[in-house]
Amino acid sequence: MNLVLFESPELTAPLPRTDPRAKHILEVLRRQAGDSFDAGVVDGPLGKAALVSVTESALSFAFTPTHLPPAPAPITLIIGLPRPQTARDILRDATTLGVARLHFVATERTDPNYAASTLWTSGEWRRHCLAGAAQAFDTRLPEVTWTQTLASALVALPESPASRLALDNYEATAALGAETSNAKPQRPTATVLALGPERGWGSSDRDALRTAGFTLAHLGSRVLRVETAVVAALAIILNR
């Protein structure tokens, strides 16, 4: 936890000692009354928090904002709904890398039970985004959805200029790295990257992606886990 994040209403209330953030401040950062630590407001400013007092039940602190975080990278991820544990890793790591939007979608080969996971229904997903933002020393969280189909997500994409890429192990003819390095000087200002679920894209998925203007690309001959492919692909795209 490189940055301790708070929701706006929490700035005026004591932080219970049972809260994981309180334990982090006291046991990991080893702060005492009078010390300060790096903090931020979710989707708001970063700054410093001064630890005012420590009691047996709570911590009191005063937050002073100093600056706003940079804008997120203009990247939208469309991902076939994976297993919940895989989705947790993607939520955290994609947030750490600064993507603007994350759309988990139903595809031809998606297990329909994944959308009913408590990860989504309980709101747990947001906790993983918060962990990713804190890791990156950022306060901004991506827009996250999980109820769309691939078709509806493609229809909802804005018409603004954007590079549209879909990773595929079977029908892609060019490596993602080659596609980005050969891009024209007048590059789009945004990227939409689509990745299939663990079982990969189906034929109807590929047809829909091609119709929507996506170029199929690969990350080499090795078959990667979805969460690994997300990080590798984002690293290549961000390097542009």
78: domain CATH number is: 3.40.1280.10
Residues 222 and 108 in one domain: yes
Residues 58 and 86 in one domain: no
What is the DSSP track for 194-215?
EE--TT---HHHHHHHHHTTPE
Cα four-point dihedral sign 4, 191, 195, 159: positive
Residues 103 and 158 in one domain: yes
Residues 82 and 57 in one domain: no
Residues 19 and 80 in one domain: no
Predicted pLDDT at 177: 76
Q: In which residue are the tokens 């979805």 written?
A: 226
Amino acid at 142: P
Class of residue 230 by CB neighbours under 10 A (exposed 0-12, middle 13-18, buried 19+): buried
Q: How far out from the chain centre does Cα 210 lie? A: 25
Residues 53 and 97 in one domain: no
Which CA distances in Å does 167 have to 43, 164, 190?
Answer: 30, 10, 17
Please compute, for residue 49, the number of CA atoms within 13 A of its CA located in the half-sphere on the CB side: 27
Domain span holding position 162: 73-238
β-pairing, 58-67 vs 15-16, is antiparallel
CB count in 10 Å sphere of residue 222 = 8
Residue 163 DSSP symbol: E
211's tokens: 């119709």
Predicted pLDDT at 188: 53
Residues 96 and 189 in one domain: yes
- List, for the chain, all residue ranges whose pLDDT scores fall below the cut of 70: 179-188
CA distance 33 to 55: 10
Residues 13 and 126 in one domain: no
Predicted pLDDT at 185: 46
Last residue within a domain, chosen from 67, 93, 122: 67
- Burial state string for 42-59 with b = 16 or more CB within 10 A and e = fewer than 16: bebebbebbbeebeeebb
Residues 215 and 152 in one domain: yes
Residues 173 and 231 in one domain: yes
pTM above 0.85, yes or no: yes
Amino acid at 155: V
Predicted pLDDT at 114: 95
Number of compact structural domains in the chain: 2
Residues 156 and 61 in one domain: no
Residues 100 and 180 in one domain: yes
Rg (CA), the chain: 20
